Structure 1
Amino acid sequence: ITAKNISDEKTLLSGGQFYLIDEKDQKHKAVFGEFSSTDLVQRGLDPNEPIEVTTQFDVPFDEDVNYKIIIRPIKEQSTVDTASICLTNC
């Protein structure tokens, strides 16, 4: 995951916010933890300072399938948090 906070305030990013949606619209939770030094557990995301972290989804991968990622807000939405996310198959 490459994430960049494009707001003016620091926000929080955690592995529990991410879901993968498969071709049947089934939602899969991320399997997150400290499996490596780059795993996303919980990180502060400063404005305009991109970070690169990893998280895992325990699903069979098919390169011909179009997957979607959903990012669940981590707090009540009295403000708007926006992030750009890039997904790769490892």
Structure 2
Amino acid sequence: MAIQRTQSGKVDKRTKEYKEMCANLAKARKAAAKKSAPKATKKSTGKVKRTADGTVDLRTKEGKEIAARMEKARKAKRGGLMKRILRLF
């Protein structure tokens, strides 16, 4: 399978071989993304409800869980920052 090239040396995008090559690359990217995707630790009960402006509705069970995780992450980040600051002195 010889890949045809233009006068400038680039691969000719109009050929059948180029289109097959792109399809194979897309398939490989999809497989790599699927393989490297993190595993879900907990199954979701469904879609997360959102408010009219697109933010997560914090009144729902899922929204409250998300808010709790975010607050925990914020506390961990603040604690880590304070430790780094105190190490300097």
With the length of structure 2 as denominator, give the TM-score of the two structures.
0.20
Q: Which has the larger radius of gyration?
A: 2
Q: What TM-score results when the alignment is normalised by the length of structure 1?
A: 0.20
Hey, which of these two has a bigger chunk of helix by percent? 2
| Greater strand proportion | 1
